[in-house]
Structure 1
Amino acid sequence: MTNLFTIILCFVLASGQAQKLVKVINQPNIIYINVDDLGWMDTETYGSKFYETPNISRLAKEGMLFTNGYASAANCAPSRACLISGQNTPRHGIYTVGNSDRGNAKTRKLIPIENTEILADENITITEMLKKAGYVTGTFGKWHLGNDPKTQGFDVNIGGAHNGNPGAGGYFSPYNLEHIDDNKKGENLTDRLTQEAISFIKTNQEKQFFVYLPYYAVHTPLSTTSELERKYTEKGGDSLQNKAIYAGMIETVDKNIGLILDAIDHLKLKNTLIVFTSDNGGIRDISSQHPLRAGKGSYYEGGIRVPYIMFWKEVIKPGTVSNSPITNLDFYPTFMDILNLEMPEKILDGTSILPILKGKNLKNRSLYFHFPIYLQAYNSKTDDARDPLFRTRPGSVIIDGDWKLHHYFEDDKVELYNLKTDLGERNNLAEIHSKKASTLLKKLDAWRKKINAPIPRELNPKFNPNVQSK
């Protein structure tokens, strides 16, 4: 009888241990690092000769680097809304920051679709999904989707409100932000957010945690220490990348990523998934993304192609490179896949990339972008956009394999590029490959109808073609 009891007890204990093991494997800690306005070419990891980013390179060496990663929108708020909601822009209606009728009214042929500025609370966010699975959640930095991310599932919020940037002088304490207290005068904001995140990790190391670390850096206003500015001024750059203040901001971000990696190692949190990326392309007038065309606000590659590096010691083979196209819409379903969690009523527009992390391939799929509004130019000489007045005019984009098609609503024009042979989108092949262009336009139109994407059709009575021609 005693032996039987011992066998049963051992079985029960073993089952408990097995369940605990399954939970550990299926519930990694998650750290999502989102650098604001960091371009595809703004790290040495992706080829820059000017910026110094050894810790980001360390992350890539220990994890997986993606060469074809995209933000779901070309500017801050819509990209973040897509990540947090798991839904493409037509579903949440956030297309830009503030008003949608940007630029001179006389140069806009159409009345743009009205913009939504706040992510609706009824939208079940990626954070609320993780809380459902038992995660403790914290955000440290830019929110930009409302006044307080704690209404969207975060237990802790440091520095997040509706602000899009920290304001003049805001990268050094005293800060111009809500939900963050001033400590030492002159403290760097990026340093502070990192220390708050590390403190949160230490406090919750015995639990499953989700850390959302959306740095305000490297968004304008550009600001760094005099020491770093002097370092990069003396180093010099080239005609494409040469701004010492911007380089100093990037180095500060990189230093703090190193601190996060060190903290994870020190605490022996082996089952930790780290995502490193940007919310959109870099500002072309600050840092060129050559060979990509244009930058933030444009739907050429420079505005939407961004760095992605993922680290997960238990799963991802170190030093791997993936050419599979991904978007930040994919992380909501990916995290659900990892957790084996089902939410049948939640509409998601991305695809789980867990197979990629395990060394497998995804089936071919198309990526879609919809932007039915206007964004005025930063600098007509350096933007490298479609015209000198706007970074982009209203339109949609589809990426399908090597092919990319732009469709602009004002003139109903299409542009077709083969990204394999023309990554810079210089040679419009719409006429030469008219059949391919027609096929992709039909596919894009079917997607727009399926997702109920609004298309601006009302003519702007203030439009003056003579002003535009000048």
Structure 2
Amino acid sequence: MLLKAIKILLSFIILIFISCKTDSKENVIKKPNIILINVDDLGWKDLGFMGSSYYETPNIDALAKEGLVFTNAYAGAANCAPSRACLISGLNTPRHGVFTVSPSDRGHTKTRKLIPIKNTKHLNDTIYTLPEMLKSAGYITANFGKWHVGDNPLKQGFDINIGGSSRGNPGKNGYFSPYNIDYIKDGPKGEYLTDRLTKETISFVKKHKDTTFFIYLPYYTVHTPIMGKEHLIEKFKNKKGIDGQNNPKYAAMIASMDKNVGKLLAALKNNGLEEKTLVIFTSDNGGIRAISHQDPLKAGKGSYYEGGIRVPLIIKWPNNITANTITNQNVSNLDFYPTLQNIVQPEKRATLLDGLDLNPILKGEKIKSRDLVFHFPVYLQSYSKGHDGSRDSLFRTRPGSVIISGHWKLHHYFEDNALELYNLQDDISEKQNIADLHPKKADKLYKKLEAWRLKTKAPLPTEKNPDYSSEFEKQQKKHQ
């Protein structure tokens, strides 16, 4: 009898163990596949769901309805390399030293009052990158497109790379095969680069659908040279433009990009991966104002007015994010790293990150109030002199820092120590500098900015440029 009782007890314990083990497996949340689409130079208002009536983006508009739209999303910087460095490292510009696309002394030497801080061209190899963190969490990582923060993404956390190197654009006539970019084989003559990168991405999805993957899809489009497919260019030539959005070649590029995003999203669905995949869609900085206006935002790429740093952002994560929702909370591409790190729980975590975890927002909650800070101790010459919408007709940006605190925004320029203060809730176009009307607010934000620069050891240009000529500068501005 005793032996029988022991056998029954052991059987019961085994059943409980098996039951608990099964329950634990069922309760484990599988890490999502992650796709981060980072379009190059796509403006805040260059999409239908953001208010454009000229550009046609039905697939991205549909994505917006399936996910969470961020109306106040910011890039980490106003032009390509520094913004991408912020996204990939999770660190603000003073921590990695990539302030611009090299060199830092852009524009005519006689129009620069200061010697700019020397620029770092690429992310240092010691920086623990976003793809490296995801590899630590068991992800297969792949890059399809523009890298621009190193010579080869394979050295900075990627298992697969198609088309990514130190190049910042596809080069002359570069959107049609034969290509000018590195790490890609030429396709059939006339093949469109955006189509090719998407084709490679979809092929990867099909091959690795039974794994957990991270895809970084930084399209070269819609960066210059502006080159679209002829039939689409003809289509938009016959469509009336509005409010500075009227370039048929640029519209053709956006249409092709949108079609390819649609192809990728369809591939996820067809391979049973839609419910298992977190998709982020954004841009690396504002659009070029000479090509496309972002009204009511001021200026464009390269400027630290809103048109240069606000970007479109959608995050879709089925069963985790409520579809067709909008948030106006201030976020930055610096936030992607900590957000994804908290989702995937890697073995090796990044210990220092400048962004915030956005998971509360993804769940419909509020995140703690924080400031967004931008530091640009270098020069960036104008695109279209007198037509960039910037403070200075000769430069998109002169050396300075910017802080956004709630609805308030303060610009501090190093050459003349000038301050510009705006209330973005009342004046999103940054038309009226109210620093003199609100000196206490300006002083408070300036002190916050100084404290941040001290904390991050942000370098300040203080050495005067001996070549500077006020008379020459005056003449240059006169001829605008």
Both proteins in one fold, TM over 0.5: yes
The CA RMSD over aligned residues, in Å, is 1.4
- SS in structure 2 of the partner of residue 276 of structure 1: strand
- TM normalised by structure 1 equals 0.97
1:278 corresponds to which of 264, 278, 283: 283
1:291 corresponds to which of 262, 278, 296: 296
- Tell me how far 1:177 sits from its aligned partner: 1.1
Matched, 1:125 2:129: yes
Please show how residues 134-149 of structure 1 align to structure 2 within 5 Å. 134-149=138-153
Residues 136 and 346 in structure 2, CA contact (< 8 A), matched pair in contact too? no
Q: Which amino acid aligns with 2:472?
A: V
Match of 1:12 in 2: 18
Instruction: Give distance in 2, aligned partners of 1:308 and 1:158.
Output: 24
* Alignment deviations for residues 44-82 of structure 1 (CA, whole Å, 9 cap, x no partner): 110001000001111010000000000010000000000
Please show how residues 234-273 of structure 1 align to structure 2 within 5 Å. 234-269=238-273, 270-273=275-278
Q: Which amino acid aligns with 1:151?
A: K
Change (3 A) 1:433 1:230: same
Match of 1:219 in 2: 223
* Alignment deviations for residues 244-300 of structure 1 (CA, whole Å, 9 cap, x no partner): 000000000100111111111111211210000000000000000000000000000
Change (3 A) 1:195 1:11: farther
Change (3 A) 1:15 1:101: same
Instruction: Give distance in 1, aligned partners of 2:12 and 2:214.
Output: 39
Matched, 1:351 2:351: no
Match of 1:63 in 2: 67
- Tell me how far 1:12 sits from its aligned partner: 3.1
Match of 2:440 in 1: 435
* Alignment deviations for residues 169-191 of structure 1 (CA, whole Å, 9 cap, x no partner): 11111111111011222111101
Instruction: Give distance in 2, aligned partners of 1:5 and 1:139.
Output: 52
Q: Which amino acid aligns with 1:232?
A: F
Residues 296 and 303 in structure 1, CA contact (< 8 A), matched pair in contact too? yes
Instruction: Give distance in 1, aligned partners of 2:474 and 2:244.
Output: 30
Matched, 1:193 2:197: yes
* Alignment deviations for residues 74-116 of structure 1 (CA, whole Å, 9 cap, x no partner): 0000000000000000011001112100001000000000001
Match of 2:373 in 1: 368
Match of 1:207 in 2: 211
* Alignment deviations for residues 280-336 of structure 1 (CA, whole Å, 9 cap, x no partner): 000000000000000000000000000000100020001000111100000110011
* Alignment deviations for residues 324-353 of structure 1 (CA, whole Å, 9 cap, x no partner): 110000011001111234756621000000
Residues 386 and 394 in structure 2, CA contact (< 8 A), matched pair in contact too? no
Residues 271 and 314 in structure 1, CA contact (< 8 A), matched pair in contact too? no
- Tell me how far 1:236 sits from its aligned partner: 2.4
Q: Which amino acid aligns with 2:344?
A: L
1:400 corresponds to which of 394, 398, 405: 405
Match of 1:328 in 2: 333
Residues 141 and 159 in structure 1, CA contact (< 8 A), matched pair in contact too? yes
Q: Which amino acid aligns with 1:68?
A: N
* Structure 2 segments unaligned to the other structure (5+ residues): 1-6, 476-480
Match of 2:3 in 1: none
Instruction: Give distance in 1, aligned partners of 2:241 and 2:350.
Output: 51
* Alignment deviations for residues 377-400 of structure 1 (CA, whole Å, 9 cap, x no partner): 001232010010000000000000
Please show how residues 305-316 of structure 1 align to structure 2 within 5 Å. 305-316=310-321
Change (3 A) 1:314 1:429: same
Please show how residues 135-174 of structure 1 align to structure 2 within 5 Å. 135-174=139-178
Change (3 A) 1:342 1:88: farther
Match of 2:4 in 1: none
Change (3 A) 1:63 1:3: farther
- Tell me how far 1:38 sits from its aligned partner: 0.1
Residues 89 and 129 in structure 2, CA contact (< 8 A), matched pair in contact too? yes
Equivalenced residue count is 468
Change (3 A) 1:199 1:14: farther
Instruction: Give distance in 1, aligned partners of 2:464 and 2:428.
Output: 34
Q: Which amino acid aligns with 1:55?
A: N
Please show how residues 437-452 of structure 1 align to structure 2 within 5 Å. 437-452=442-457
Instruction: Give distance in 2, aligned partners of 1:369 and 1:19.
Output: 44
- Tell me how far 1:204 sits from its aligned partner: 1.2
Match of 2:40 in 1: 36
Change (3 A) 1:111 1:45: same
1:317 corresponds to which of 293, 316, 322: 322
- SS in structure 2 of the partner of residue 215 of structure 1: coil
- Tell me how far 1:238 sits from its aligned partner: 2.3
Matched, 1:453 2:436: no
* Alignment deviations for residues 205-254 of structure 1 (CA, whole Å, 9 cap, x no partner): 11110000000000000101110000000112124100000000000010
Between structure 1 and structure 2, the one with the greater Rg is 2
Match of 2:88 in 1: 84
Residues 336 and 342 in structure 1, CA contact (< 8 A), matched pair in contact too? no
Instruction: Give distance in 1, aligned partners of 2:374 and 2:225.
Output: 28
Residues 301 and 308 in structure 2, CA contact (< 8 A), matched pair in contact too? yes
* Alignment deviations for residues 415-444 of structure 1 (CA, whole Å, 9 cap, x no partner): 000000000000001000000000000000
Q: Which amino acid aligns with 1:450?
A: K
Instruction: Give distance in 2, aligned partners of 1:16 and 1:214.
Output: 40
- Tell me how far 1:14 sits from its aligned partner: 5.0
